[in-house]
Structure 1
Amino acid sequence: MLGLFFSAGMCSLERFGSILVLRLTGETEHRFSPALCSQLRQHIATAAASDARALVTTNDGKYFSNGLDLEWTKPEPQTRVPYILRELERLVLDLLKLNMPTYAAICGHAAAGGLLFAMAHDHRIMRKDRGFLYSAAVDINFVLPPGSSALLRAKMAPKVFKDMILQGVKYTGIMANEVGLVDSLQEDSAATLKEALDQASKFVERPWEKAAYAGLRLSMYPELIERLERESSSGGFITV
């Protein structure tokens, strides 16, 4: 059943029939560093160029992602924080422009940048017994970039967005399901991934075309994608 395998240390890409599984590997917090963002973007580019028809993203361990790699930013926070934020927004933009449906099988905590990455997927399945969705912005005195804020606003009901950003509410799987942040809940990690694969398997059999699917997603979020493209292409990067 396994058709291909790419591993880059912090993440891997496997193929099961016409479905690709992008996995954040290892028992780490899967924090976004330049290296992780680059590896994930390479895998998404591989997916875009393939004849696969769906992408499922999941994680090992207790974290889907705990946000930015703050240790990497400490030596030069004034330049490194904006840099990694732009790299994360480029990753999110790649997902939003991908020519196939995307499913996040969230098997742990998705906080800060991890929340952004999860919400960039078309569909989200979460395990019931462990993990939460959490912005963290108000608790760490962090002002979200306009593009990141626009993504969360586009994917959440207004009250959920307000509570998430201004009150720092942590949404458990049950809470997230009740307010529409996720599409379904499962008992554990294995069941969460299985449900995402099952949903993808059903959808890939329908006669949709990849260019049309990508166009439909772009038509849903034109202002968001335009803003992210503008932000992610801005200058001022440091060399890493």
Structure 2
Amino acid sequence: MPYSTRDGDVFVLYLGEEGQTDSENRFHPDWLDRFEAALDEIEASEGPAALVTVSTGKFYTNGLDVDWLFGNVDKHYWYLDRVHALYRRLLTFPMPTVAAVNGHAFGAGAMLATSHDFRVMRGDRGYWCLPEVHLGMRFTPAMNSLLVERLPNQVALEAMTTGRRYTGADALAAGIVDDTATPAELLSVAVTRAAALAGNRKPNLQVIKRHLHERVLAGLAVPTTAENMAFTIG
């Protein structure tokens, strides 16, 4: 489950269990509970601060817990709207945020990284990818809004309609991430970037973010329904 540590003014929120290196860090409801609780604790702090999210091992996060979804078909809409709410919260989080993408970020996990202010990605291995087109899945209007508003238009088209797997170098060239780093330096690069912005944690920061992301926030607030369900196969 997600847990946090602190490095000076920077909170580091790990997406997986402490000491675990083989988890895909999928969004099980219990995982979402712990992630939200960690954000609550971080948000309750005072003074200069910034947030970095990272994981350990092969995966940053592979996103939606598909096994749980297909075992709980009566809760699809509730679950997806909860994921959308997490994206909204990160987009307007009242301190600077940096995703340290240490491994694969697929589907909703790629969208989680895209919901941060900035992204630093491991340069030697790991992919940022939206595989929905290969899986016969539709994007919810909320997810579509996030991607269309946060990515350059042609990049969104390529990522969403081809399922391209972007390496760190590819993602940097496409404007998906802001920097790349070696595995040994990834977290320190992300923390250094975040620490330089920690003093910007003031009441006006969240207001600025809300205005900046007004359109995507409105899109993310669109409820998931039978008509726009993301998990129609084929």
TM-score (norm 2): 0.89
How far apart, in 1, do the equivalents of 2:189 and 2:26 lie?
A: 25
How far apart, in 2, do the equivalents of 1:12 and 1:209 lie?
A: 22
| 2:59 match | 63
How far apart, in 2, do the equivalents of 1:56 and 1:209 lie?
A: 14
| 1:7 match | none
- 1:66-92 per-position Cα deviation (integer Å, ceiling 9, x unaligned): 121111122233x23333211211111
| 1:15 match | 6
| 1:43 match | 38
Q: Given the alignment of the two structures, is residue 100 of structure 1 paired with residue 91 of structure 2, yes or no? A: no
| 1:6 match | none
Shift of 1:219: 1.1
Structure 1 segment 218-233 matched on structure 2, within 5 A: 218-231=210-223
- The answer to whether the 8 A contact 2:49-2:201 is kept is no
Structure 1 segment 50-199 matched on structure 2, within 5 A: 50-51=45-46, 52-77=48-73, 79-188=74-183, 190-199=184-193
Structure number with the bigger relative contact order (C-alpha 8 A, sep ≥ 6) is 2
Shift of 1:224: 1.4
- The answer to whether the 8 A contact 2:127-2:166 is kept is yes
Give the ranges of 4+ consecutive aligned residues of structure 1 lying more than 4 Å apart after TM superposition.
none
Letter in 2 for 1:228: L
Question: Secondary structure at 2:124's aligned position in 1?
Answer: coil
- The answer to whether the 8 A contact 2:49-2:195 is kept is no
Shift of 1:33: 0.9
How far apart, in 2, do the equivalents of 1:211 and 1:226 lie?
A: 22
Structure 2: gaps of 5 or more residues: 225-234
Shift of 1:110: 0.3
RMSD: 1.5
How far apart, in 2, do the equivalents of 1:172 and 1:220 lie?
A: 28
- 1:156-186 per-position Cα deviation (integer Å, ceiling 9, x unaligned): 1111100111111111111001111111111
Shift of 1:209: 4.6
How far apart, in 1, do the equivalents of 2:188 and 2:108 lie?
A: 25
Letter in 2 for 1:19: V
Shift of 1:230: 4.2
Give the fraction of aligned pairs with identical amino acids, expressed as a percent: 29
- The answer to whether the 8 A contact 1:32-1:67 is kept is yes
Letter in 2 for 1:128: G
Shift of 1:227: 2.8
- The answer to whether the 8 A contact 2:59-2:102 is kept is yes
How far apart, in 1, do the equivalents of 2:61 and 2:76 lie?
A: 17
How far apart, in 2, do the equivalents of 1:45 and 1:97 lie?
A: 13
How far apart, in 2, do the equivalents of 1:231 and 1:98 lie?
A: 21
Question: Secondary structure at 1:139's aligned position in 2?
Answer: helix
How far apart, in 1, do the equivalents of 2:222 and 2:137 lie?
A: 21
How far apart, in 2, do the equivalents of 1:93 and 1:49 lie?
A: 18
Letter in 1 for 2:124: D
Shift of 1:48: 1.7
